[in-house]
Chain A
């Protein structure tokens, strides 16, 4: 779903805070009218519906909320090409005929082209641009939508459009934070988790150190659906809106999560490792995304739990580390040692990795390049 243009986002800035204009129950009457109006245009060219929706509704409507709802409903609706002949064929036939009969009246040329295609002239005229977005026949959404559902979807669109303009996001969340961390890592964001009650997740992109970049806005916005899985969360985002910086606050209870679950964003690297390990070590089970583990001041989100099928006491946590520095790694390993977490195997990407000598002795570390070797992981497990 394309995001809202900056100028069209229902939100205002007030003393450094960005206040989104979420739709609530007060908006339901006009949403009802809007949905009915859209429904009335089923079977007519999309252009006519677009034209109608540029005009006011027969009731009071908040301008920017209405525009956002219109954008959403137009995207939800399907539109079909209805034509007796392929419009591309109609165009080539007619316009080529026009070149041959350049000095003949338009009607004569159209009749000649229509005859070539075995159509009536009116059918040819209808087919000419039938595939253009505005000429397609509006068929409405797949299933009926209620004003409440539309409001939630619009709010979600507003929140994502604002997060698209974010350079940094901090999330304090309880429960199910793991999918958020995982998604953030997979999208190349720098992600630090401070232990606390609840823990705090700090997300930004590498480029954010130089300027307020919007480069990661899409990735930051894509994390929003995963927050629906958290029992409770508070999100603080630094966003640029209309040339000014402001802070956006979102939290659990905000009316912005439609019913559909977010599409998982899988890592090919991890999927391939799971596959390879199954082949190389049939006696071991690999469980994805085990529970996070507290270690000192941080929280570890292991990617896998490796467990021996016939001896469940032999189990190891595996974390695929994204970007790291030696200092970061040293800190992390000392925290793990202090927390007596000695069954964690770290898989380090060699392309972002320091030399062996830099690693503390005794650390369970596997280096990899593009593919994690299951034998090396089993060796590290001992």
Chain B
């Protein structure tokens, strides 16, 4: 019998006897080609199972083997060494949970260097694709391939965006032995999971600061492995992460803003209440889906969007932001907004550089360099600074508003925790009284304390 790789799957061809192949892990009969087929992820288990059953076979699954050059070794901090050891002990399949700023990329590069096998690193965004590729080259001396952001260059070590990985894994799934998944919490509940299913890589390392729970966690354990090592911000505060204080500033709408907010929320609540009466257990996403199909529902959704825009940067937040930037004019500050439009408004009003998906790679790199050198006083961003981006040292974080909940907040706070002797970081949260922001801020703090 022969095992061959076919577009993210493994085909079992020319079996001598079909009875020995019953109930193989993941395998199903594919009548279109008259052969058993299983997702590539099962490759290792398939080999073990066939071996146990005494089935003779040729394994032709692995793709063309590229020669890996000598890679420079990567030094690790003690906790990173411990995380890597825990991963190795778990058969090199698992997720490590480490706080933002604790060096997850470095840990992954060390795994690639030490395993010294073809490796594919999956990262969520184009910004991180570039950052990972540069980090790998700096640490190992090897220029990795890039897949995504208009590039299609595959090397024994390659960095791909989630989107490109999903699209191209059917061609590349048999070329890598190690899969590194950055911000692994994005997997386990969505379409992109198929990318991990289509790879034969027996070694899998997931990285996250905010692991998922419930069914998503279980699925992630199937695709990458279980959580094998976990540290929280508190575990590293002092020596490896800077200590920090959070200051929540409660602000008020102007009377005009308050009246508008209440009108908008009344429009939403009215429709939402009637929807909940019919379907009490429905989620917000289900409400949005249903509401989008009627005029009244769409008016409610439009009102909700307008209320979010109002909360994003009302008069009091504008004033407070000006005060905070003036108070910390000698410190480097990161400002976080709910959306790009607010980031540009903040940038224009307070003359600070926005970093958004619309700012090109070269300009972004230049801005980070100037920020590091102290030639830019602050950066403002809605999402680009949230995940993974290696931001130079900053002492002050100002959360003007958020849109993605607790996970986003944990990531944002991590941005100002790069340690330095004598440093104590400060994180401000601007919250409008008597709005949904109050409850959101409470949940964020709980997530940070967890």
Count how many chain B residues have C-beta atoms less than 8 Å from C-beta atoms of the other chain: 49
Given contacts A63-B295, A358-B14, contact A188 B370 (CB under 8 A): no
Dominant secondary structure at the B interface: mixed
Contact A206:B7 (CB < 8 A) given known A109-B351, A129-B344, A325-B33: yes
Binds B, one of A20-28, A93-101, A285-293, A299-307: A93-101
CB nearest neighbor in B for A324: B33
Chain A 201-215, CB-CB to B under 8 Å as 1, else 0, gives: 010111101100111
- Tell me if A381 is interfacial: C-beta within 8 Å of chain B: no
Q: Are B7 and A95 in contact (CB-based, < 8 A)?
A: no
Q: Is B391 in the interface zone, CB < 8 Å from A? A: no
- A278 vs chain B, min Cβ distance (A): 29
Cβ of A186 under 8 Å from chain B? no
Choose from B6, B170, B330, B348 the contact partner of A129 (Cβ within 8 Å). Answer: B348
Q: Is the CB of A209 within 8 A of B194?
A: no
Q: Which residues of A contact B26 (CB under 8 A)?
A: 210
Total count of chain A residues near the partner, CB < 8 A = 46
Whether B292 contacts A192 by the Cβ 8 Å rule is no
| Least Cβ–Cβ distance between B169 and chain A, in angstroms | 9
Chain B window 320-358, contacts with chain A (Cβ cutoff 8 Å), 1 for yes, 0 for no: 000000100110000000000000100111011100001
Contact A132 to B353, CB < 8 A, known contacts A88-B363, A103-B329, A354-B13:
no
Asked, given contacts A63-B298, A214-B191, whether A207 binds B198 with beta carbons under 8 Å apart, the answer is yes
Q: Does the CB pair B358–A132 fall under 8 Å? A: yes
Check B34–A352 contact: CB distance below 8 A.
Answer: no
Known: A103-B329, A325-B33. A242 touches B353 (CB 8 A): no
Contact A95 B376 (CB under 8 A): yes
**A206 contact set on B, CB distance < 8 A:** 6-9, 30, 37, 170
- For residue A317, give the distance in angstroms from its CB to the closest CB of chain B: 23
User: In whole angstroms, how far apart are the Cα atoms of A133 and B340 in the complex?
Assistant: 11
- Inter-chain contacts of B366 with A (CB < 8 A): 92
Is A327 part of the contact surface with B, judged by Cβ < 8 Å?
A: yes
B358 contacts across to A, CB distance below 8 A: 131-133
Chain B residue nearest to A96 in the complex (CB): B375
Q: Interface digits, A313-324 against B, CB 8 Å rule (1 contact, 0 not)?
A: 000000000011
A188 to chain B, nearest CB (A): 6
Interface residue? B218 (CB, 8 A): no
Besides A96-B376, A206-B9, 11 other A-B contacts (C-beta < 8 A): A91-B363, A95-B376, A103-B326, A129-B347, A133-B358, A206-B8, A207-B194, A209-B28, A214-B191, A326-B14, A327-B34
Can you offer 21 A-B residue contacts whose CB atoms are under 8 A?
A88-B363, A92-B367, A95-B352, A95-B353, A95-B376, A98-B352, A102-B329, A129-B344, A190-B32, A206-B37, A209-B30, A210-B26, A210-B28, A214-B191, A215-B166, A323-B6, A324-B33, A326-B14, A327-B34, A352-B6, A354-B14
Binding site for B on A (CB under 8 A): 7, 63, 88, 91-92, 94-99, 102-103, 106, 109-110, 125, 128-129, 131-133, 188, 190, 192, 202, 204-207, 209-210, 213-215, 242, 323-328, 351-352, 354, 358
